[in-house]
Each structure stands twice: as C-alpha cells, then as structure tokens.
Structure 1
Amino acid sequence: MSRPVTGRRRRGFKILSLFFELVSGFFVRWLGARLVGRSYDFFGDEEHNRRRAIKIRKAALEMGGVLVKVGQFLSTRVDLLPPEYIEELSLLQDEVPGVAFPEIKRAAEASLGQSLDAAFSDFDQLPVAAASLGQVHRARLRTGEIVAVKVQRPDIAVIVEADLAAFRYIVRWLGRFRAIRRRANLQAVLREFETTLRMELDYVREAHHAERLSVMFSNSKEIAVPRVYWSHTTTRVITLQFMTGYKITDFEALEQAQIDRAVVAQILMRAYLLQVLEDGFFHADPHPGNVLVRPGPVVVLLDFGMVGEMTPAVRDNIRRVFLGVIHRDYEDMLSALQAIGFFGPNADRRVLKRALAWCIDTFYEMSLGELRTIDPRAVLAQIQDVLYLESFQIPANFAFLGRALGTLSGLATALDPSFQFFTVAEPYARKLMGAESGWRGMVEVAVREMRTMAHTAYELPLLTREALHAVNRGEYDLRQQFEGVERAVIRLDVAMHRMLYALLVLTFVLAGVIIFPTHYSALAVLAFVVSLLFLGGVFFGGGRRRRR
C-alpha cells in the first residue's frame, strides 16, 4: 500500500518535468538523425521507446491519480503510439497499489454517514481490486446479501484537478505545432477525457450506468450486470451485487470449467454490436479486470464508471460504415467516416476509397490472431498518404469507443486466435437490414434521402463560390477545382431523383399505414408493394446516373 505524491504544485512540477524530459529526449534523437541526413523513425526506435514507456509506467504508479488514467488511456491509442508504449502502459491495468484500510474506512464512513459496522454485518479489510480512483472490498449487508463496495480514494478529486491543470498546459503547448494539430485534436481529446474523468468520480452516475446496461441486457442469457444497492450508494461509495466468475483471461480455469473460449469471444462481440449499433451506449472499459465468465457461458460486466454514449446521428453513421464494410460500399463508408469526422471535407475521395478498398480486401477474411501478427509499419507504408496527406485523425468523441474496441479485440484474440469478426458481424448486418426493410425503416430511408438532397443542394453554391475565390487567389488549379464542382453537380442530380423516389415511398407507406388498420384490403397491400418498388428506385436508381 502506498500514498501518491500530494500537493498541487509538487504534482504539477513532477508531471511537467516528466513530460519535458520525454520531449527533450525525442528532440535530441530527431536532431541527431537530421544532422547525419536521415529522418527519425519514431515507430522504429524500439529500444528508446521501451525505456521511455517503462519510465512513464513507473512514474504513473508513483504519482497515481490522473497519470495512471492517462497511461491506461494512451495504452489503447495504437493510432498515436508505437507498440512498445502500448505494451508497457497496458500493465497499468493490474499494477495499481491499494490504499491502507484505515483511510478507506474513514472515507467510506464519512460518505455513508454511518459506521461500517452499522452499515454492514461484515466488511473485508483487504481489497478485492484496486484502481486509480477507488478500490473494491467484499462485504455483507445486514439483510444478508453479499456485495462489492467500491470506495473512492481519499483526496482523489483534489489530485485529479491538480493533474488536469498540468495536462491542460501540456496540451496548449503541443497545440502550437502544426504537425501535431493535423494528427489529433488534442484540445478536444482532453475535454472528452476531463468530462469522462469527472463522471467517473460521481458514483451515483456510475450506478445509473449500471442500471441502464442491466435494462439493456435484461432479456439476455449471455450477459450479466450486477444489481445496484441504492441504500448503500453515494457519490463516493457504490455498492453492487457481488458477482462471481472466472477472470476472462484465466484460460486454465475456463478450460477446467469446460467453458468454450471461442463462444465467450462471440458473446462479447455480440454484446458490443448491440451496445454500439442499436443503443448507442456502451461500456468503455472492458479490460480483463472488468470481465468475468460463468459456466453457460455467461459474461459478467463490472465497473461502469467509464461509458460512451453517441448521438443518433453518429450511431447511424457507424451503422453505415459497418454495413459498408459488409457490402463493400466504399462510397457510403467514406461519406459516413467524413460525417463522423475521420476526414475533412476537402480530402481526396479517390485516394481514400483506394485505401479503404485495400484495407478491406486485405483484412476482411483474416482472423484476429492473424491480424495481430501483421507488422504495423508495413500497413503504415500502404496507407501513409491517407494518414498524413489527407489529415486523418480520430475524432475526440471516438477516443473511448476506440479504447473499448481495441481492448475488446485484444480479449477476443486471446480467447480465440482464429476468431473472425465478420462471422459474428454478417448475421448482425442481416438483422439490421431486416429492421430497415419494415415500413418504419422505409420511412427513415425516405427522410434520410430527402435530408441528403437538401444538404447537397446547399453545398453546391458554396463549393462553387469557394472554388472561384481560390482560383482568383491563385491557390488551386482551375481544372482540379471544377472536377470537385462536377462531382457535386452529379451528386445533386442523383439526390434530386432520389428525393422524388423518397417522397413517393413516404406517400405510399403512409397510405398503407392509414388503410391497413381499418381495412385489411388489397388497396393497403398494393400501397406497400408500390412503396417497395419506389424504394428500389431510392437504392438503385441514383447509382446508374452516377456511373453515366
């Protein structure tokens, strides 16, 4: 048991010192490479990266607080850091030291407003688990239920604010460099991180997250979520049903219990497809300490402080990307990725489509185990034009979805190296398409097409005006810009025809809905049939014009 470094100035000084030591080391190696006429390969400097990653991990364990969270967060950012950093920082999931029981006891009693002896008939002094913000103890309520009590670390809120002040300074400093701004919107990422971190400090909010996921999986026989005991829950103490099971990475125990690891991997993937594509609300921290497995198999989710929630628009665009991968619809995938924020509006769509096609054709049928053996530098060489020339970046609101999916991918690979994501994804895609083929789905398609047409009509004059201004300023080649205008004109033509079909779909669907409840007649059936014919025009009519 150890206490983290305290004191706002002292913590800020140590964090800034660590940061500038790392930056100066990087700069010296970059300058040395330039002096001998070479470019510095950050991803290829494995020995140096390993030493620096170990230094960060040790500093995080000494300091505690946000530094541990940042390390855990960065351990999932494979788009930003070399593998050596990812491997070392991932160890922070299991190495966080606990707090001495007398301190935890005082904090819990102050928050509950009563002694532990009064609140519980039994309370284990040794923690079941320790994390950066709190630790969990096994206890028994006076009514007999076995519970898990998570108590927030003393003074952690003060420590968090002190650390965030230091990180805000670091991010402002990094934001001065154009190359860094192009790779990631660090200000937005930090804001997202701060918001989520403050949410994690509110255990009442975490309890609501647990209940929301419990409702989501209430009809599932494959996923279990613990019950919340509100009588023993406050902003700094959360009491949940004590869940038993094997740690998901304890493969020996799983095999002894005759639990099929491949089935467990499939259950996990199905659970996240439901959370992300249907509800838009997901558990954002499925690391091995937060996932148990029972015979059945049943997957048990724990720790609900870090969750992600998406707007309906973002969720719909993720669906478009998902279905686009299944059907090789690169155009729709690209539009959805741009709408989400992975690429800017001026990115070269031809380059992006080629990169998407290469990625999907190369990796679609690979197992997760095979994907893990691929040299990331070889992949980077194939798509570096997209990453650098087209200003690719991970949107801030996707940082935690990326964290969840990256962690999930690692779990699934460890459980079943032969696991193929699309063996689970393709049936789910058919389910989504089936949901959209009903009359409600047709109405949504019609409305979506009209919205697309309106957006394109609005975009065309703006694009034309910007192109002419750019030519007058001598910034762009005239022919190149008018290719962009021509593409917008074609899109407008397609959208206008689709709008006509969409209006007809909407008209006949509504007619069928009005007629059907009162007179189940041939007229109602005819209205639905006609709407289906026009729906075909929505999906396929515009494509022929686009290819003319």
Structure 2
Amino acid sequence: MTDTRQLRARYRRILRFAARYMVLEWWFELVLPRFGLERVAARRRLVRAARIARSFHGLAVDLGGLMIKVGQFMSSRLDVLPSEITRELEGLQDEVPAVDFTLIRESVERELGMPLERAYEYFDPTPVAAASFGQVHRARLIANDAVDVGFSAVVVKVQRPGIADIITVDLAALRRVASWLNRVRFISRRVDLPALLEEFAIISLREIDYLNEGSNAERFAENFVDDPRIDAPEVVWERSTRRILTLADATAIKINDHAKLVAAGIDPAEVADELSRAMFEQLFMHRFFHADPHPGNIFVTPADPDRADQSTPEWTLTFIDFGMMGDVPENLSRGLQRLIIAAAARDAPGLVASVRDMGILLRSAESAPLERALGELFDRFGGMGFSELQQVDPQEFRAFGNEFSEVVRTMPFQLPENFLLIIRAISVTSGVASDLNSSYNVWTAIEPFAARLARDEGGGTVKELAKQALSSAGLILRLPQQLESVATLMQRGQLAVETPGADKRLRMIELLVRRLISAVLFTALLIGGILVRDTDPTIGLVLIIGSALPLAHVLFAGVVNRNRLF
C-alpha cells in the first residue's frame, strides 16, 4: 500500500502543475488580448505549447504511473492537440526505474499464496523490461507444471506495488483539472474533456487487469487458430491473477531487426506483407485487433529446421502484450462504410454528415468551413491515383496541407476511442511494414480486404453508391429551377440572407467599445492616483483602488459576454 501522505503530495503536485500553466495561458490568451496585444500572445503560442509539453514530460518521468500513460495517450490525440505538443510527447516512454526485487518477490508470493520457490523452479531477479504499470521477469516452471502445460520457459508480468492506488489518485487529480478546463467555453465547445478522460480511465484500468489481458491473448490466438503464420503465447492460468500474468516465453527475433532476419534466411519484405495481412484481417474479419503493434510487441520466430512437418511455414509472427486491444462495433463499422461511400462519391456534405453521425465531429460544430475545405480537396486531388499524386509539386501539397490543417484544427473534432485505436493500429503497422519494405503501400495492402468486404455485404455498397449517384443527379436536374426561383425572389426584393456571423460581430464591437471606455477610465484613475499621491496620499490611494473597478470590467466582462455570444 502506498503511503497516504505520498499520494496526497502527488495529487497536489499534479494540480499545481495544471494550475500554473492554466494561469499562464489565461494571461496570454485572455488578458493580453484585452489590451490589444493579440499579436504578442500569438507570436510564441506554439513555443509555449512545446514548452508545456516538455515540462509535462519531465513531470511524467518523475512521477511515473498514470502520468506516463497520459503523455503516451495524448501524443496520439492529433484530433485534440496541435503537433507541437504531440511531437514533444511522442518520445515519452516508460522511463521508470525497476522495482526492487524484494517487493516483486513479496507481491508474487502474496498473489499466488505460496513461496516463490514453490511457484517457479527459477525466477530471474533482473527484469527483462520495466514499465509504468509493471515489469517482466523471465522464469522457469517447476517440473510438474511444465509437464501439464507442455513448456517450462515462461515470462512473468508483475504489477508494480501500489499502482492501483496511484492510478486512483491520478485519475482524481485529472478529473479535477478536466472540470476546470471544461468551464472554459472555448474548450468545452471543441473537446468533451470529461468524456475523453473517462475513456482514458477505462483503457488504463483494463491494462492493470491481467486476467483481462490473458483472456485477450486467448481470444486472439483462437481467431488465428487455423493460420500457422500467426501465433500468441499461451497463458499459464495456474500462475496468473489480476496482478500476476505468466505466459510462455515467446522471445525471438524482433520484427524490425533486419540483420537477424536476413541472417535467419527470412525476407523482411515478406514479413511486412504478413504483418499487414494479419493486421487487416484483425480489423476487417475478426473486428478484434491488437491496438499497439509496435516492434517491441511482435517477434519473428524461425521454425525448427529439423521439424517433422515440413509443410508448416519457415517462420511465424508472434504477437505479445494484449493489454491494449480494440473492437470494431457494428455501429462504427456502418459509419465507416458510409464515410467511404461519401468519399467515393466526392460528396463533401455527405462525408461531414457521416463524420458527425459517428461522433467524430461534435454537434456544436459549424460544418460549412470543413465542407468547403473537403470540396477543394476533392476538386484538386480527388480523381488522382497514387502514382499521379506522387507527381504533384511537394510545395503545392505542403501549402494545401497547411491550409486544410488550419481549418481542421479549429473544428471541434474528437475521435471515438475505438476509431482512434483503429487509426493507431493502421499507422503503426504501416510504419513497421514500410521500414521492412521501402516499397510497401498500405492502400495496395488494404485492397483485397476492401473487395472481400464488398462481396460479403451482398451488394449493399453498390446500392448505396447508386443511391448517392441518383441523389446527385436529382440535385443537378433541380439546379436550374432553383436558380430561377432565386432570381425571381431577387427581382421581387424578397430574398432574405441570414447573417448570424454579422450580428455576432456587431455585438462584439459594442462590447469592445464599452471595455475601451473602461480601459480609459482605468488608465486615468491609476495615473491620476500616482500623480496626486505625493501631495495627497489619501485621495491618491482612493483613485488607485478605484481604478480596479474599470480594470475588472476590462478583464472579465469579455469572459462573461463571450459565453453569451457563443
């Protein structure tokens, strides 16, 4: 059990860190613009963001526990954070020292209810790997257990002592911070922070349930039971609990170790193809997938050259670490299908509508800017194949990408967790495969699965595309009549144009004028008080104190009225 005083100190330290940088950003983003210093505030905005990320990196490494997971999690939330932050966080690893072996021994013996020597014939005191939630040790089963399961070499994943208490405290602190930030209208309109935190909490709590991880490993293995190329380590349930997980030792050649692959007579390009096939089969066929397929979690295991059955493959891909797994639910699968249909039809409004239906775009979003940006994207690049895109001037790509990113960044996007895990799995897989084979193309790899899905749908996709085409044709046929109606209304002087943006700007101008008057009063009272303080201290003090009232109006009236405007 972690010391209560240490937990309280940890809680306060997290809150102090958050409060410090919230006040700093409040000063730059709210106070300085009140005095017409928007450019000063904006000039180093990205530099400040990167500095905050670096400071959080230091805090996470120092505290360990959930804070490291927060950094790793947020580094993949490109829908929420700018790249200046994610770039600083993406290198954050489990940079924590190993737990003293005495504590590991105590934990294992307490969980298994027996001395370590009775549970394992051998247990290596030096960990293979140490992470924020646990660490892994090599071990060897006693003879009787080895006979029962069919192997003796195992790895034992041991949860860090007190990590459950640490996670509870960290989540409490993060919920407090999220509630602070959620009161800021600008943030709450763009990100549902409490919901984001709860999805993160669910993922983290699942990761420290090793029985859940063991079940995931068995489910994964069952999905590939007829595939001799894909494997997962067997779970030793007799030596596993919620805090201890014992697995067959599957250590082999790391998938990104080119030299060892070639030395073993294994073609890295072939490994890339098999990895890609395995991942897309998980996503499209099983709808249950490994969400963290980085090189440390996948081994290439050469077959025994003296094996009796020479028909078995010469090597297998062995996945490990099933704490972070993802499901593709039916509703998300349907949403993805609608999104693909809209993209195929180059229907920007339809694509935005499908994104909104999946919860990726918050309901409060004004979709017109995104629709225009997508329309420009379809018009410029929509008809190009991969080879044609490679011929486009890189500067044009860069210019369009910057413009499109600016539009997307202002939109209140928030990816559902399952969707985020899908993107993560595909991007990590693509990166590993590209490293193994420089000519790897993720779109070429996905085509067979897309075609197979279309066949399995029984023509449903074709029907949707036909429906989309008929809808577009109907719009084209109705367009001349609609233009004629608009012209008639203009001639009659009955054409009304709604301009909610203009009304909002007029109200903002009115508020700015009022606050400008308050700023002038503040300046006059303050300077007047300073000037007369030497001759009449009482009146000078009254004037200086009185200047606080118009100053308060300048600083805070905008916050109150902004909530009304938005």
Question: What TM-score does the superposition give when structure 1 sets the normalisation length?
Answer: 0.71
Task: Report percent identity of matched pairs.
Answer: 35
Output the amino acid matched with 2:193: L
Structure 1 residues 104 and 299, CA, compared in 2 at 3 Å: closer, same or farther?
Answer: same
1:308 counterpart SS class: strand
Distance 2:318 2:391 in 1: 27
1:93 counterpart SS class: coil
Match of 2:367 among 333, 347, 367: 347
Q: Counterpart of 2:65?
A: 65
Q: Counterpart of 2:192?
A: 185
Instruction: For residue 266 of structure 1, report the CA deviation from its aligned partner.
Output: 3.1
Distance 1:274 1:370 in 2: 32
Instruction: For residue 124 of structure 1, report the CA deviation from its aligned partner.
Output: 0.9
Distance 1:264 1:286 in 2: 14
- Give 5+ residue unaligned stretches, structure 2: 303-313, 468-494, 500-566
Distance 1:23 1:168 in 2: 15
Is 1:312 aligned with 2:320?
no
Q: Counterpart of 1:262?
A: 269
Q: Counterpart of 1:125?
A: 125
- Listed as ranges, the matches of 1:303-452 within 5 Å are 303-322=321-340, 333-344=351-362, 347-348=367-368, 350-351=371-372, 353-354=374-375, 357=378, 361=382, 365=386, 379-388=401-410, 391-437=412-458
Is 1:294 aligned with 2:298?
no
2:90 counterpart SS class: helix
Q: Counterpart of 1:466?
A: none
Distance 1:152 1:430 in 2: 43
Instruction: For residue 380 of structure 1, report the CA deviation from its aligned partner.
Output: 4.0
Instruction: For residue 267 of structure 1, report the CA deviation from its aligned partner.
Output: 2.8
> Is the deviation greater in 63-72 or in 91-100?
91-100
Is 1:274 aligned with 2:302?
no
Instruction: For residue 164 of structure 1, report the CA deviation from its aligned partner.
Output: 0.3
Q: Counterpart of 2:534?
A: none
- Listed as ranges, the matches of 1:416-495 within 5 Å are 416-437=437-458
Distance 1:322 1:351 in 2: 18
Contact map agreement 1:33 1:40 (CA 8 A) in 2? yes
Structure 1 residues 156 and 36, CA, compared in 2 at 3 Å: closer, same or farther?
Answer: same
Deviations along 1:173-229, whole A, 9 cap, x unmatched?
Answer: 111122222332211111111112111121111111111111112222332211111
Distance 2:362 2:328 in 1: 20
Q: Counterpart of 1:141?
A: 141
Distance 1:359 1:25 in 2: 41
Q: Counterpart of 2:20?
A: 21
Distance 1:42 1:256 in 2: 53
Instruction: For residue 120 of structure 1, report the CA deviation from its aligned partner.
Output: 0.9
Distance 2:276 2:340 in 1: 14
> Is the deviation greater in 10-19 or in 50-59?
50-59
Q: Counterpart of 1:157?
A: 164
Instruction: For residue 29 of structure 1, report the CA deviation from its aligned partner.
Output: 5.1
Instruction: For residue 67 of structure 1, report the CA deviation from its aligned partner.
Output: 0.2
Q: Counterpart of 1:497?
A: none
Instruction: For residue 140 of structure 1, report the CA deviation from its aligned partner.
Output: 1.0
Distance 2:432 2:389 in 1: 10
Instruction: For residue 425 of structure 1, report the CA deviation from its aligned partner.
Output: 1.2
- Listed as ranges, the matches of 1:179-218 within 5 Å are 179-218=186-225
Distance 1:39 1:299 in 2: 54
Contact map agreement 2:153 2:249 (CA 8 A) in 1? yes
- How many residues align? The count is 445
Distance 2:388 2:262 in 1: 22
Q: Counterpart of 2:77?
A: 77
Output the amino acid matched with 2:69: K
Deviations along 1:86-106, whole A, 9 cap, x unmatched?
Answer: 344233335332211111111
Contact map agreement 1:343 1:392 (CA 8 A) in 2? yes
Output the amino acid matched with 2:325: V
Root mean square deviation, CA, Å: 3.8
Distance 1:102 1:311 in 2: 44
Distance 1:443 1:321 in 2: 11
Distance 1:210 1:367 in 2: 42
Contact map agreement 1:5 1:64 (CA 8 A) in 2? no
Deviations along 1:62-100, whole A, 9 cap, x unmatched?
Answer: 111110110111121223334453344233335332211
- Listed as ranges, the matches of 1:28-47 within 5 Å are 28=27, 30=29, 34=33, 36-38=37-39, 45-46=46-47
Distance 2:380 2:224 in 1: 33
Structure 1 residues 23 and 210, CA, compared in 2 at 3 Å: closer, same or farther?
Answer: same
Output the amino acid matched with 1:70: V
Instruction: For residue 44 of structure 1, report the CA deviation from its aligned partner.
Output: 7.1
2:360 counterpart SS class: coil
Question: What TM-score does the superposition give when structure 2 sets the normalisation length?
Answer: 0.69
> Is the deviation greater in 143-152 or in 346-355?
346-355
Distance 1:7 1:427 in 2: 55
Q: Which has the larger radius of gyration?
A: 2
Contact map agreement 1:368 1:419 (CA 8 A) in 2? no
Distance 2:344 2:251 in 1: 37
Structure 1 residues 141 and 431, CA, compared in 2 at 3 Å: closer, same or farther?
Answer: same
